[in-house]
Structures are given as structure tokens and as C-alpha cells.
Chains A and B, each alone.
Chain A
Amino acid sequence: DSGVTQTPKHLITATGQRVTLRCSPRSGDLSVYWYQQSLDQGLQFLIQYYNGEERAKGNILERFSAQQFPDLHSELNLSSLELGDSALYFCASSPRDWSSYNEQFFGPGTRLTVL
């Protein structure tokens, strides 16, 4: 158990809908990273927050947004969902801001199915 929690574990929804995925980082970790893992694209970085501020963006669609709250938990909002958004969404945390050698601790993921 990494200490990172994600809710819900599974989410089934319809195209066009909006969902919110939640992540609680390890105690004391200030950075939160969001990733999407799909069969065809693999594990792809979406966005990083550090202590409430957005720090880096990856291949995140405009329909997706995230934020990190003062208590350091983070939410990933996915809107106007399409079938292709079906994937595993992982949150990871680390104690400090981005650095190549800062270990990221991954949560168990949220499996999103869009029907």
C-alpha cells in the first residue's frame, strides 16, 4: 500500500457526461501527478500540482481539468466524455516538487468506463 488513496475504484458512465476523480496523497506529500493508462497509449502524464499550484501539463485534453485543494487532495474533472476516455486514471504523489529522482508513489487507480 503506497499511502495514496483514490476514489472511486470504478466508474461507469455515459458519453457526454462529466465525472470527478479524487486523490488523497501520502501524508506530507506536496506534489500530485495525474496519469492516464490505456491499452493503446500506455501510461501518460496528464498534469502535476505542487502545493496547490499547477506546475506541469502533459497530454491533457481541454475537456479535462484538475485542481489541488488546501488540504492537498486533488480532483481530476473529465467532461463531455467520449468512448476513448475509458481508461485507468492514476494519481501519484511525492514529497517535493518535480525532480527526476523524486520517487512518485502511485495510488491504486480509478477505472473509468464510458458507454
Chain B
Amino acid sequence: QKEVEQDPGPLSVPEGAIVSLNCTYSNSAFQYFMWYRQYSRKGPELLMYTYSSGNKEDGRFTAQVDKSSKYISLFIRDSQPSDSATYLCATDTGRRALTFGSGTRLQVQP
């Protein structure tokens, strides 16, 4: 079983839609979770960071961690074509490194 699993998509939504991106993780000891955004032919960039459980909001983006189900989510409100990218979840698995999900490709149609 992979430590972090993510549906690869692609996910296609109309502009203005609410997008929900999800990952599951294997170990309840994981506490630090990140979402990275990767545009085509670019390196990943940190979007959101959360610790332990609960929600964190930043503009149109909300990151949510549900430790009871080992589920992390990223919600994008009022999605824009510029949000079209691959979204990677990541966590610290205790080995001094980030472990990434495989990424979900999102396409927001104008």
C-alpha cells in the first residue's frame, strides 16, 4: 500500500465550479500535510500547509484534514482557468523527506 494515494484524474470542471481534490494516507502518525500545485513544464509550488487536523483557508483555497479517516482534501472555490494544473498532496512520513501523492490533473474550462 502506498503511503499517500491520490486519484490521478483528469478532473474537468466549468469555470466557477467548486473543486474537491482528495488524498488518503496510510499512517495515522503523519501530522504535516501539504498541497503543491504544478503547472505544465514547471516545478511544484507550495499552495497550502496544514498541521494535524482541521481546516485552513487561504483565499479561494481550503485545505482540510480528517485524521479519523486519514483523508486530506483541497477545495477550490470559484475555480478559474488559471487553476488548471496538477495538484500534489504531500506529507512528512518521518524520514526527513516529503512523500508525494501521484497528483491529480485539473482542467478548468472557460
Contact = CB atoms under 8 A, between A and B. Distances in A.
Nearest to A46: B97
Interface size class of A (residues with CB under 8 A): 20 to 34
A109 interface: yes
B43 A45 contact: no
Given A42-B100, A43-B100, A106 B45 contact: yes
Given A42-B100, A100-B92, A90 B44 contact: yes
Interface string A93-109: 00000101101111111
Contacts, number: 51
B45 A101 contact: no
Given A101-B49, A107-B43, 18 more contacts: A4-B43, A33-B97, A42-B102, A43-B88, A43-B103, A45-B97, A45-B98, A56-B96, A58-B97, A90-B44, A92-B43, A98-B96, A104-B98, A106-B44, A108-B42, A108-B43, A109-B41, A109-B42
17 contacts: A2-B45, A42-B88, A42-B100, A42-B102, A43-B44, A45-B97, A56-B95, A56-B96, A58-B97, A92-B43, A98-B97, A101-B32, A101-B51, A107-B43, A108-B41, A108-B42, A109-B43
Interface of B: 31-32, 41-46, 49, 51, 88, 92, 95-103
